[in-house]
């Protein structure tokens, strides 16, 4: 019985230490379907999501979902600490509880108590070891607890630094593509003279953002559960909107920015596919069509009226549909799992935002001070967009 207890204690310590190493220190995707962290998130996220999605008020529902990411991090650290304390207590018990307890008879509860005080380096001294091996193990456990605390203290800044960098680009996209971001709005707001260079720079930035997202969210998967500040924003909707826009540029828009769009599409699709594989999610095959033919015609007319140079052949819709098939199934599967809605191609209910307010003020200035060969008034484009 003592041997079995010793083996269980050692196994418990190895499982916890290996899982913590893969989750915190190892800078790559952690392997193994029976990892402690993976089991923890399966057992906690599913019931949390089940309760949260039944909240009818959108803002309260989003708030409930946003609590999960930070709380899961705290509880995961608690699970690791409890696992190590429990593992060391089993080892002490297998050694015959080699401690002296002046207040009570020594037993497993004393072993568990000593393990807890050693791990958290309390050093109370009311229960003391009377064997050399017990002293060595107590010292080893105290060092493990101290090292665990040091790693955790360095873990939080890394996580929140990656989260902050992710959210800065998402917030910047609000003025460029609306909230939620849509391909139609992004193209419409970049229909001015010289927009090709601006779009090429924007897609270059989002190619790098996608690469950083892939690296950080595969190394620290729990960042996927951290939600954005606003209800209409999420890393998944931003990534999908950039994939939509890249697909649109590649399949049906003329311009030199399509070259950079190909690079951005490849990187963004790589990120969304790998993240779906991290969660062991298969792409959805039965998802509803996000851009049926009639909506595509509406999108086509909107782009033409905005001055975008679109392709005139009749195969652009088929080309766009082929590109969409490469990522929409993965995006829909992640959307279902994380409860993050995907953005539409065209805003269903366009609303006033900071960009529209600033654009109208600028249009008033241009109307009061006209110049020869001035590009078309942006207010007309805005009004026509709202008519849709």
Q: Does residue 65 fall inside a structural domain?
A: yes
Same domain membership, residue 286 and residue 179: yes
- pLDDT for the residue numbered 388: 43
Residue-number span of the structural domain to which 77 is assigned: 2-130
Q: Does residue 357 fall inside a structural domain?
A: no
Same domain membership, residue 122 and residue 6: yes
Same domain membership, residue 211 and residue 64: no
Same domain membership, residue 197 and residue 299: yes
- pLDDT for the residue numbered 26: 77
Same domain membership, residue 32 and residue 125: yes
- pLDDT for the residue numbered 76: 93
Closest to 296 in 3D by CA, of 237, 356, 232, 252: 252
- pLDDT for the residue numbered 371: 63
Same domain membership, residue 123 and residue 26: yes
Closest to 61 in 3D by CA, of 344, 339, 277: 339
- Domain end (from 104, 130, 156): 130
CA contacts within 13 A on the Cβ side of 370: 6
Q: Does residue 149 fall inside a structural domain?
A: no
Q: Does residue 359 fall inside a structural domain?
A: no
Q: Does residue 310 fall inside a structural domain?
A: yes
Same domain membership, residue 118 and residue 20: yes
Same domain membership, residue 278 and residue 204: yes
The model's pTM is 0.84
- Domain end (from 103, 130, 157): 130
- pLDDT for the residue numbered 379: 46
Same domain membership, residue 279 and residue 177: yes
Structural domain count, the chain: 2
> What 3 state SS string does the chain have?
CHHHHHHHHHHHHHHHHHHHHHHHHCCCCCCCCCCHHHHHHHHHHHHHHHHHCCCCCHHHHHHHHHHHHHHHHHHHHHHHHHHHHHHHHHHHHHCCCCEEECCCCCCHHHHHHHHHHHHCCCCCCCEEECCHHHHHHHHHHHHHHHHHHHHHHHHHHHHHHHHHHHHHHHHHHHHHHCCCCCHHHHHHCCCCCCHHHHHHHHHHHHHHHHHHHHHHHHHCHHHHHCCCCCCCCCHHHHHHHHHHHHHHHHHHECCCHHHHHHHHHHHHHHHHHHHHHHCCCCCCCCCCCCCCHHHHHHHHHHHHHCCCCECCCCCHHHHHHHHHCCCHHHHHHHHHHHCCCCCCCCCCCCCCCHHHHHHHHHHHHHHHCCCCCCCCCHHHHHHHHHHC
Structure tokens, 194? 């010289």
Q: Does residue 93 fall inside a structural domain?
A: yes
Same domain membership, residue 171 and residue 310: yes
Q: Are 88 and 115 in contact (CB under 8 A)?
A: yes
Q: Does residue 217 fall inside a structural domain?
A: yes
- pLDDT (tens place) for every residue of the chain, 388 residues total: 788 999 999 999 999 999 988 888 877 776 666 789 989 999 999 999 999 999 999 899 999 999 999 999 999 999 999 999 999 999 999 998 888 877 777 788 888 988 999 998 887 777 888 888 888 999 899 999 999 888 888 888 889 999 999 999 999 998 889 888 999 999 888 887 777 888 889 999 999 999 999 999 998 899 999 999 888 899 999 999 999 999 999 988 877 678 899 999 999 999 999 999 989 899 998 888 999 999 988 888 888 888 887 877 778 889 999 999 999 999 999 999 999 999 999 987 655 566 566 666 766 676 777 765 554 444 454 444 444 4
Same domain membership, residue 125 and residue 176: no
- pLDDT for the residue numbered 67: 95
Same domain membership, residue 77 and residue 192: no
Q: Does residue 209 fall inside a structural domain?
A: yes
- pLDDT for the residue numbered 381: 45
């Amino acid at each position: 019985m003592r041997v079995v207890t010793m083996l269980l204690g050692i196994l418990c310590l190895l499982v916890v230490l290996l899982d913590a190493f893969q989750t915190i220190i190892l800078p790559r995707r952690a392997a193994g379907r029976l990892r402690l962290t993976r089991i923890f998130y399966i057992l906690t996220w599913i019931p949390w999501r089940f309760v949260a999605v039944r909240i009818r008020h959108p803002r309260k529902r989003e708030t409930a979902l946003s609590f999960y990411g930070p709380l899961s991090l705290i509880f995961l650290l608690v699970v690791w600490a409890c696992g190590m304390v429990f593992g060391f207590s089993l080892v002490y018990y297998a050694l015959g509880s080699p401690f002296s307890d002046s207040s009570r008879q020594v037993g497993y509860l004393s072993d568990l108590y000593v393990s807890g005080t050693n791990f958290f380096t309390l050093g109370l001294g009311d229960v003391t070891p009377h064997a050399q091996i017990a002293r060595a193990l107590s010292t080893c456990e105290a060092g493990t607890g101290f090292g665990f605390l040091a790693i955790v203290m360095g873990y939080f800044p890394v996580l929140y630094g990656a989260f902050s960098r992710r959210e800065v680009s998402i917030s910047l996209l609000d003025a460029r593509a609306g909230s939620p971001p849509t391909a139609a709005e992004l193209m419409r707001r970049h229909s001015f003279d010289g927009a090709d260079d601006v779009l090429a720079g924007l897609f270059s930035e989002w190619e790098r953002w996608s690469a950083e997202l892939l690296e950080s969210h595969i190394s620290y998967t729990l960042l996927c559960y951290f939600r954005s500040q606003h209800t209409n924003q999420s890393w998944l909707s931003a990534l999908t909107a950039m994939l939509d826009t890249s697909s649109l540029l590649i399949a049906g828009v003329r311009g030199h920015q399509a070259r950079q769009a190909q690079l951005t599409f490849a990187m963004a699709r790589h990120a969304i596919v790998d993240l779906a594989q991290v969660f062991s999610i298969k792409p959805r095959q039965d998802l509803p069509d996000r851009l049926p033919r009639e909506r595509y015609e509406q999108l086509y007319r909107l782009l033409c009226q905005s001055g975008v140079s679109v392709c005139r052949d009749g195969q652009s819709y088929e080309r766009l549909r082929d590109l969409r098939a490469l990522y929409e199934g993965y995006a829909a599967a992640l959307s279902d799992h994380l409860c993050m809605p995907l953005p539409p191609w065209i805003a269903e209910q366009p609303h006033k935002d900071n960009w529209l307010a600033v654009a109208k003020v600028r249009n008033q200035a241009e109307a009061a001070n006209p110049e020869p060969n001035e590009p078309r008034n942006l207010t007309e484009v805005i009004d026509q967009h709202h008519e849709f």
